[in-house]
């Protein structure tokens, strides 16, 4: 008789029943119940799911046809919004300086900046989480792991196995399920929900060709709130994702209109700095002079001269109000 294996993060039945079934892989009763609950939740929200999938598809098509900088811009905004899940509260300005130049402020938490920097990298490309979750998370078991500790690879394997069994669910539903089973699988470290959200965002957009991720937190992270049965969690998830997709589309509308206006007004300027600076302001929500210098390869004088010209014509606005460490954003 084959002893049944059970994912440790899903409790088994109260009493063991005799196993008269032939040997071979099969879902545990508790796993089957979990999957069935999510199938019922998806069926109950079919119309809403179709509408949200349409929103994600529209965003995917928009990003597929747009410049590559749009993806980076949305990834920065989403990562900054998701940083609030862990209480890091990394603003777009601090995040931009850290990613572009590895500059942090005196009171900045560099570990928090590194976490959100990881999120931006995963939201802008690379293999998805279901190909190699350990590599995606950049986490491995420590060499001096205690003997009684559950190996990280086993926890990853349990979560991936359950996700594979849910392959017939829509990617948006699977993403929601995976997010809410994350901590139960023992994958969260020190209450870190950022990894779960980034993983879910990638899974939700796994069928796309333009969007690397489906936004979850733009316009608010209410869709990530835990509590209630799967049907309630999926309902909140869909509402939050729809709001986030609409917010993302508005961001793209604004930056597309700004790019057209900037191109027209700067057409009389010569040199490579003006178009390069426009591209940087399209890709980054906030830009400093040192950032622009590093990203465009132009001289500091050329960057400052063009920033001043653009600010005088209302194309950009300085947002810090400081004499030093100034940052500008495009004015739609």
User: CB under 8 Å, gap of 24 or more: what pairs does 136-144 form?
Assistant: 136/199, 136/202, 137/187, 137/195, 137/199, 139/189
108 lies in some domain: yes
136 lies in some domain: yes
Q: Are residues 239 and 307 in the same domain?
A: no
Q: What is the DSSP string of 113-176?
A: HHHHHHHHHHHHSSS-TTT-HHHHHT----TT--TTSPPHHHHHHHHHHHHHHTTTS-HHHHHH
> How buried is 233 (Cβ within 10 angstroms: 0-12 exposed, 13-18 middle, 19+ buried)?
buried
Q: Are residues 127 and 183 in the same domain?
A: yes
Percent of the chain with pLDDT over 90: 65
Q: How far, CA to CA in Å, does 223 sit from each of 56, 59, 153?
A: 15, 18, 29
The tens digit of pLDDT for each residue in 122-178 reads 999 999 999 999 999 988 776 666 666 788 888 899 999 999 999 999 999 999 999
Q: Are residues 302 and 201 in the same domain?
A: no
DSSP-derived letter for residue 83 is G
Which domain-ending residue is among 248, 276, 310?
248
Q: Are residues 300 and 160 in the same domain?
A: no
Tell me the three state secondary structure of residue 267. coil
- The pLDDT value recorded for residue 150 is 80
Domain, as residue range, for 298: 266-330
Q: Are residues 211 and 91 in the same domain?
A: yes
157 lies in some domain: yes
Tell me the three state secondary structure of residue 76. helix
Minimal CA–CA distance to 155: which of 184, 127, 126? Answer: 184
Q: What is the CATH number of the domain that holds 113?
A: 1.10.3290
Which domain-ending residue is among 217, 248, 279?
248
Q: Are residues 192 and 47 in the same domain?
A: yes
| Rounded distance between C-alpha atoms, residue 293 and residue 287, angstroms | 10
- What pTM was computed for the model? 0.85
- 89 pLDDT tier (thresholds 50, 70, 90): confident
Contact 306, 315 (CB under 8 A): no
The tens digit of pLDDT for each residue in 220-277 reads 889 999 899 999 999 999 999 999 999 999 999 999 999 999 999 999 999 999 999 9
pLDDT reading at 12 higher than 90: no
> In the chain, how many domains are there?
2
């Amino acid at each position: 008789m084959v002893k049944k294996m059970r994912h440790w993060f899903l409790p088994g039945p109260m009493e063991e029943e005799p196993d008269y079934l032939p040997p071979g892989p099969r879902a545990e009763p508790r796993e089957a119940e979990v999957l069935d609950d999510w199938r019922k939740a998806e069926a109950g929200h079919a119309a809403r799911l179709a509408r949200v999938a349409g929103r994600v598809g529209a965003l995917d098509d928009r990003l597929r046809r747009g410049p590559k900088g749009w993806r980076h811009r949305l990834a920065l905004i989403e990562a900054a919004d998701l940083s609030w899940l862990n209480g890091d509260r990394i603003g777009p300005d601090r995040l931009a300086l850290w990613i572009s130049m590895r500059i942090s402020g005196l009171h900045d938490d560099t570990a928090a900046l590194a976490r959100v920097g990881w999120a931006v990298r995963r939201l802008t490309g690379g293999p998805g989480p279901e190909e190699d979750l350990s590599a995606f998370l950049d986490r491995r078991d420590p060499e001096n792991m205690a003997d009684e500790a559950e190996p990280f690879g086993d926890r990853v394997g349990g979560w991936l196995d359950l996700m594979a069994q849910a392959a017939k669910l829509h990617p948006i539903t699977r993403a929601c399920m995976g997010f809410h089973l994350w901590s139960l699988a023992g994958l969260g470290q020190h209450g870190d929900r950022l990894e779960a959200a980034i993983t879910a965002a990638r899974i939700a957009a796994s069928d796309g060709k333009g969007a690397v991720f489906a936004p979850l937190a733009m316009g608010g992270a209410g869709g990530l709130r835990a509590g209630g049965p799967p049907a309630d969690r999926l309902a909140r998830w869909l509402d939050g994702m729809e709001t986030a997709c609409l917010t993302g589309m508005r961001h793209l509308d604004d930056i597309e209109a700004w790019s057209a206006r900037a191109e027209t007004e700067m057409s009389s300027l010569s040199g490579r700095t003006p178009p390069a600076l426009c591209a940087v302001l399209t890709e980054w929500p906030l830009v400093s002079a040192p950032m622009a210098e590093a990203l465009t390869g132009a001289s500091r004088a050329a960057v400052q001269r063009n920033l001043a010209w653009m600010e005088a014509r209302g194309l950009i606005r300085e947002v810090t109000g400081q004499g030093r460490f100034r940052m500008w954003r495009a004015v739609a």
